[in-house]
Chains A and B, each alone.
Chain A
Amino acid sequence: SASFISNQLYNISVNTDGDLTVHWNKQNMNVVQSFHYYIGAEGNNKNFINRSSGAYIFRPKELSARNFAYSGSYKIYKGPVVQELHHTINDWVSQVVRIYSEEQHIEFDWLVGPIPIKDKIGKEIVTRYSSNLQTDKTFYTDSNGREMLKRVRNYRPTWNLELMEPISGNYYPVTSKITLKDEKKQLKLNVLVDRAQGGSSLEDGDFELMLHRRLLKDDAFGVNEALNETAFGEGLVVRGTHYLFGGKVKNMDTFVLKEKELALKLALHPWILGASVNLTNIENIS
């Protein structure tokens, strides 16, 4: 029991490649979650083709993301309130995966940075959720918390599209949610985000979200400096949360209601404040 965390809905473990696998117990659905990075394009900015990846544009140098060499480990903590899987990928990428006893979602608390740049290569880190859903090039992203918009890979509804940049050309803003649907199996997979991020589905059944970027060249769109933020003399470290939530869409109303509640809870999480109290015995508090 020390190699996985589970409840009545899920079974979560780490596979030999160091990726996380989520298996739904009662549904034919599984997800592999992994971290990858893109190398940012660098150019002289003299014309559009030579523009660098920067604050305003995401422009990877290569046609696919690179894998991290897994040098990490994981630890599991189980208790009556929460089960946690502390997963380290390398020195600067790690996460805590949580399942709470009275919640249906899986919480991914990711931590990325400081992104090393000693090799003088700008990097853009993504997390990818790859499922067995048949999605037919289609995924959905929200529009500032309003309606979900249908996105089709390599397609625009009002003109014939020929994408010169197949990765960034398929990236869309994800302000609160990204969704996949398998129309045949009637299965749905969502990730709710705690901040606006870029996201896409570059292969059927998977989606990815941009977590952190550190780039070494200005993109010449006006900011006039590279997206190379530092604090305390090192690159920034970012920590954030994704809620993974999915299953059968038999009862659509209940499903959507749960999703909305969860999204609100993540975006407007209760505030935790402290107050001093003069106590000698906790039993005496009325």
Chain B
Amino acid sequence: DESLEYFREAMGVMQHHDAVSGTEKQFVANDYSRILYESMDHAGEIISKAIGKWSGMESSTAASFKIFTCLQLNISSCAFSEKSDTFMAVVYNPLSRPVSTYIRVPVQGNSYVVRSLIDGVYPTVQIVPIPEGVQKIPGRKSNATNEVVFRALDIPPFGILAYAIAKKIQENVVEQPQ
């Protein structure tokens, strides 16, 4: 696949000792960032295809199924999750053994419900605030103020679990006059 070619080239470049140890010049560091970002960007389509095929979602949702990467989760920022009231989080386990782990997804709201798409189970969810220091990181363009945290249980080796995440709609309670 052509889109993999970008990754192959990045792998070649990133084996230089300066890339491994971080002793490259600033301009070179910027170029490494560019190469890695472009590789991931081009891989979006192939990731979508693979995950759509494994999960069977590609056929059920036809051409509309598209995977979005969240490359800034390390600074609690993800354009995709924080702009949608309802979305799907797909968790891929790159290890050859089952893994249970906690998932953190940046959001703007403060009340969410999560449902596993595999077994329909609703995991316990907690909303925690993103620390002020993180929100102030220069260059972080994010409106997320909270993170949805839940436990993904037994993600299969080299496999995926998918969760639907939806903002809880606060029901208006109309008080009855006494």
Contact = CB atoms under 8 A, between A and B. Distances in A.
Interface of A: 55-56, 77, 79-82, 84, 86, 88, 94, 96, 100, 102-103, 111, 114, 223-225, 229-234, 237, 239, 261, 264-265, 268-279, 282-283, 285-286
Contacts of A270: 91-94, 99, 101, 103, 152, 155
B108 to A, nearest CB: 14
Interface stretch (B1-9, B134-142, B170-178): B134-142
Given A237-B138, A269-B101, A279 B86 contact: yes
Given A265-B99, A273-B89, A282 B84 contact: no
- B24, B95, B117: which has the most chain A beta carbons within 10 Å? B95
A274 B87 contact: yes
B67 interface: yes
A58 B31 CA distance: 25
A234 B29 CA distance: 16
B129 to A, nearest CB: 7
Contacts of A79: 126, 128
16 contacts: A79-B126, A80-B126, A111-B137, A225-B26, A265-B101, A268-B94, A270-B99, A270-B101, A272-B70, A273-B47, A273-B89, A274-B67, A274-B80, A274-B87, A275-B162, A277-B86
A273 B129 CA distance: 21
Given A82-B128, A111-B134, A273-B92, 17 more contacts: A81-B150, A82-B102, A84-B128, A94-B133, A100-B102, A225-B25, A229-B26, A234-B138, A239-B74, A265-B99, A268-B94, A273-B69, A275-B66, A275-B162, A276-B64, A282-B115, A285-B164
Contact of B103 (A231, A272, A278): A272
Please classify how large the interface on chain B is, using the bins under 10, 10 to 19, 20 to 34, 35 or more: 35 or more
Given A232-B138, A270-B152, A273-B90, A111 B26 contact: no
A86 B93 CA distance: 29
Contacts, number: 148
Given A79-B128, A84-B128, A237-B138, A271 B91 contact: yes
Interface in B117-138: 117, 120, 124-126, 128-129, 131-134, 137-138
Contacts of B84: 276
B128 A271 contact: no
A102 B22 CA distance: 36
A279 B166 contact: yes
B68 to A, nearest CB: 4
A274 B78 contact: yes
Contacts of A282: 86, 113, 115, 164, 166
A84 B138 CA distance: 24
A77 B25 contact: no
Given A77-B129, A229-B29, A273 B99 contact: no
B88 interface: yes
A79 B103 CA distance: 15
A282 B116 CA distance: 10
Contacts of A230: 26
A263 B24 CA distance: 28
B35 interface: no
Contacts of A286: 117, 120
A272 B23 contact: no
A76 B26 CA distance: 38
A113 to B, nearest CB: 8
A86 B131 contact: yes
A42 B36 CA distance: 34
A234 B137 CA distance: 10
